[in-house]
Structure formats: structure tokens, C-alpha cells
Structure 1
Amino acid sequence: MPDWLDVVVRSLIFLIVLFLITKGLGKKQLSQLSFFEYVTGITIGGIGAEVSMGLERNIFNGILGIVIFAAIPFLAGLLSLKSKGFRDFIEGKATVFIKDGKVMEDNLKKEKYTTDELLELLRKKNVFQAADVEFAVLEPTGDLSVLLKKENQPVTAKDVNIKVAPIKEPQTVIMDGVILDEPLSTVGRSRRWLKTELEKQGVTIENVFLGQVDSYGQLTIDLFDDKLQVPPPQEKPLMLSTLKKCQADLELFALGTEVKEAKHMYSKNSEKLQEVIDKVTPILRG
């Protein structure tokens, strides 16, 4: 076998082996490496590259070395689940950088972080002033978790006592011009409904790059042609307008009748409908 072909075969074999091993170790190997897993990953890559290019080396010995280095973090992970002390030693502990609004300079020095690096990590969390932070901790993975002071936190619906309807994840019903029946049935819609909604917007399924239905049953689409503009969904604004019109009609009926019972009925129902409008307006405008 020519040397170049031998390198190709070895590289393909190691690519498959490394993929299977990484797949077996789990997603943590990709996103949250500990010191131990970081060193192991470098070593495994080095073994794979060395044996792939070193034609005089036995390929099976290289695979055996990779399996051994892959088995070590796997076993370490099992021990970490059972022993917190071992887990702290292998993965490390979180380090507090800001506590009660005060920067912990000693902890910064301990982790070999400068003030500039701390400010950089804060900017990545969209925090541009350290005085806005109540608590910040450096996780073992190297990521900084930040808790803003209460007065600097975004206002939520709960803070202003506004009740909002629960929101479910949107369902993708069209992808690359193809209808996806399973997500469509999940939201209780049919192909006929989908085609009707597309006709309202003047587009065909073949022109739709991505189509999604939200928890309110509204269809939003993105077309292959980026120059074409698609109007936003109008279901919620139309519903709000209809409710307001009904409430206004009830008030007119109450003013236009001389029958006491009817006037009372119209006025009472107008008030009830106004209460409903006040509750659903934040939802229908959102």
C-alpha cells in the first residue's frame, strides 16, 4: 500500500474512533471541560495525529492508547458522581469574584485574573459597570455567573403584578419549502389551514424557507428571497380590536335604550368585557 493511501486509511480510522469515543463520553466533553478532561483531550488528539502520520508505528497500539486515555475521564466521572471531595479535586471549585457588590481582590489574584480580565468577563454578560453587580462567581468551567443588584435587574411581569399566559415553544411547520406534518399536528393545525394562511400572505409553500407557528396559533414565515417583505401576523391585533369594538357597542346600546333592565344588562356586560380587555391587552400586544 502506498504511504499516502496508508495515511488516508489511518486518518479515517482514527477519525471514526475519536468520534465514537467522544460521543460515548457525552456533551460535557464539548462544552464544560475540567482540567483533567482538557489534558486528556489534548493527549488523545496527539496520539491520533502521531499514529496517523507515523507509518512505522502500529495502528492498534495507537487505538489502545486512545481507549485507555478515554477510559480514565469516564471512570473519573463515575467517581465524581459519588464523591464530592474527588469531584472538587478533579473539576475544581467555583471562586467568588464579587460579593455584596465588593470585588474580592484576593480571589482574583488566586485565580490569576487581572481587573481588565474581570471587566471583560462582565462585558460578555452585558454588564459594563462593576458597581451594578451584587454577586459574581467564576465557575469551574471558566464561565462567569453574574447576579445584578435588585435595582439593576430587568422588570418582569411578576414585579408589576401582570398575569401573562404561558408560552409554549414554537413549532417549525415548514422547512426548506417542505411541510412538516408532525409539528403541524402538534399545534392542532392541518395542511389546509397552513395553505390558507400562506394564501393570505400571498406566498406559496415552495417559496418559504422557514415557517413557524407560535403558542397563539400565529404563522410567521421567512422566504428564500430576502428582498420580499412579509407582513407580520395580524391575529392578535385583530382580536384586540374586535374586543374593543364589542365593548364600545355595548356602551352604545346602554346609552341608546330607555329600558332600565336592558340598560343595566348592557352596562354590566360592558364593564365585564372591559376587565377582560385590560387583562389580555399585554398579551395581545406582546
Structure 2
Amino acid sequence: MPAWLAGVPEWLDVVIRALIFLIVLFLITKWLGKKQISQLSFFEYVTGITIGSIGAELVTGLDRNIMHGIIGITTFAAIPYLAGIISLKSKTFRDIVEGKGSVLIKDGKIMEDNLKKEKYSTDELLELLRKKDVFQVSDVEFAVLEPAGDMSVMLKKENQPLTPKDINLHVHSGKEPQTVIMDGEILDEPLSTIGRNRKWLKTELEKLGVTIENVFFGQVDSFGQLTVDLFDDQLEVAAPQEKPLLYATLKKCQADLEVFALSTEIKEAQNMYAKNSEKLQNVINNLTPILKD
């Protein structure tokens, strides 16, 4: 037992050691970065086990020297840190330490040799595919087992979900929603970010038929629409109506132009109404993905 812990009861000695190593391990983990806790390589996995073992031994082994334990843990922590720096500069070293991805499916066919090499059974392969919402091997164009153990899957073109790009549909790019009310409190900074103020927020709340005292959470989307969650979950809040109303107004104007074109006998007026009706219809077509989202 260290001299500064002389006379301390053993149970308290264990508590003090545990607190010391908890702080040391926390600082080391912060130093190593998020990757150490989210995506371990084989090297980092072994290092983590060793550091934990050293810490547990020194916490409960009252005859062990604390400084020796801290030196040992720091040494083991420094190894993956240095290995990470070397990996950034050397692909060969990175492949050795972190490993490489293995192709398990190609052109809808299972690569049996790679499957055996990675020690995966067919059942385990199918389980990984199901986690990606894929239930038929023949639907897969390419599947790779990543070094971290995750499966990356690319479906064949005909089995991929249809996207707006596939049908040449223009989609408005979205922006990050801004939280303007949290725990019943108005947040001025997000309001300022979107160019709004408290007066605007009060007006929008009045449109929804609620007051700020009743609102627990509120967000403004990329279209400037406010959605709220109330303290009382039994109350229903009407959905924002700005976009549906705008869409209906545009459709009515376009229909009115068509009626005017049919109602007049003046050729120039007919052409004008028809031409503007067509222009407005093009505008509606472009705005439909936004207004009906």
C-alpha cells in the first residue's frame, strides 16, 4: 500500500483506487478518440482487454503499486495511438493492423472461399443480409464484409429503390431543422439563424391554436413551417397548412386561366390566357414535390 494511503481502511483503499483508475481510463479513452469505442480494430480490441485487466488487478490488488499500473496502462494506450498515426501514412501497415474488406457476394454469387476464410457460415451470411433488409442472394450485386465486421451491400440496379433522379424529378434540397422551443423555453439563437424572431414565433403558434405555455418542443423545418409537441399529449395540434393552401391557390389560378381562354372569343386573349396557363402549370409541376411533401 502506498505511504499516502497508510492507515486507510481496505474498503476505502479500493474505492480510492477505483476512482483514480476510472479517471485515468476516461482520460485515455478521450485521448484515443471516438474510434476506440465505436469501431475497434483487432489491435485495439486486444489493447482494450489488457488495459481493463490491468486496471481491475490494481484496483482490487491492494499490494500492487498504483504508479506501475498507470505506467502500464499508458504504455498500452500509446501503442494503438502510435499505430493509428503510422496507419495514416502506410497502407500496408493499415491493412495489417485494421484488415481489409472481403467480398462475400459478387454478381449474385456467393464467394465460398472468402466465406470460409472469414469463418462465416451461410446462415451467418444470410443473417447479415437480413439486417440490411435483403432476403435473396441473387438480388445482390456486391456485398463486402468490412474490417469492423459490418456488411456493406449494393443491390442490382433493377432491385434498387427508385429515386427522384431516376425519373428526372427535381427535389428541393432540405436544410437542417432548427429547434426553436425546448422544454417550454424559446431559443433565440436558432430563431436568429433562420431569420425569425419571437414575434414571428408567436404568430405561428396562434395559427396552430396554441400558446407558448403549452408547448414542450418546437422545430422549424427547411420550408419555414413550425411543428410543435405539447406538454399535454392528449391534445391534437393541426398540421401546418401553408403549403397545401399555396398548392390549392396555384391550381385554382391555373384552372381560372384555362376557363378564361375558353370563355373569350378574342383570339389574342385566348392565346395569352392559354400561354400563361401553360407557364403556371410548369411552375406547379416544379413545385409539387415541395408543396406536397
Pairing partner for 1:48 from 55, 58, 73: 55
Give the 3-state SS of the residue equivalent to 1:158 in structure 2.
helix
Which residue does 1:221 correspond to in 2? 228
Alignment of 1:1-286 (within 5 A): 1-286=8-293
CA distance in 2, matches of 1:240, 1:209: 30
CA distance in 2, matches of 1:2, 1:199: 65
In structure 1, C-alpha distance between the alignment counterparts of 2:12 and 2:260, rounded to whole Å: 89
- Secondary structure (helix, strand or coil) at the match of 1:126 reads coil
Separation in structure 2 between the aligned mates of residue 204 and residue 42 of structure 1, nearest angstrom: 54
* CA displacement at 1:156 relative to structure 2: 0.4
C-alpha distance in 1 between matches for 2:225 and 2:247? 14
Moved more, 110-119 or 227-236: 227-236
Q: Name the SS for the 2:180 alignment partner.
A: strand
Q: Which amino acid counterpart does residue 173 of structure 1 have in structure 2?
A: V
How far apart, in 2, do the equivalents of 1:66 and 1:18 lie?
8
How far off is 1:98 after superposition?
A: 0.2
Percent identity between matched residues is 76
Question: What stretches of structure 2 of length at least 5 have no aligned partner?
Answer: 1-7
Specify every segment of 5 or more residues in structure 1 that has no aligned partner in the other structure, as ranges: none
4+ residue runs over 6 A deviation: none
Question: 1:246, CA displacement in angstroms?
Answer: 1.4
Task: Please give the alpha-carbon distance, in whole angstroms, between the structure 2 residues aligned to 1:169 and 1:122.
Answer: 31
| Amino acid in structure 1 at the alignment position of 2:221 | D
Relative to structure 1, is the Cα distance of residues 4 and 202 closer, same or farther in structure 2, using a 3 angstrom cutoff? farther
**How many pairs are equivalent?**
286
Find the aligned partners of 1:205 and 1:125 in 2 and give their Cα distance.
Answer: 42
Q: 1:60 to 1:224 in 2, by over 3 A?
A: farther
Q: Distance in 2 between the 1:100 and 1:283 partners?
A: 37
Please tell me the root mean square deviation across aligned C-alpha atoms, in Å.
1.5
Cα deviation for residue 54 of structure 1 reads 1.8
For the 8 Å contact 2:177–2:219, the answer to whether it is kept is yes
CA distance in 1, matches of 2:136, 2:183: 44
Partner AA of 1:97 in structure 2: L
CA contact (8 A) 2:105 2:144 kept: yes
The CA deviation string for residues 105-137 of structure 1, in whole angstroms up to 9 with x for no partner, is 111111110011001101111111111111000
Helix, strand or coil at the partner of 2:142: strand
CA distance in structure 2 between the aligned counterparts of 1:223 and 1:17, rounded to whole angstroms: 43
Q: Residues 261 and 211 from structure 1, CA distance in 2 versus in 1: closer, same or farther, beyond 3 angstroms?
A: same
Alpha-carbon distance change, 205 to 66 in structure 1, aligned in 2, over 3 angstroms: farther
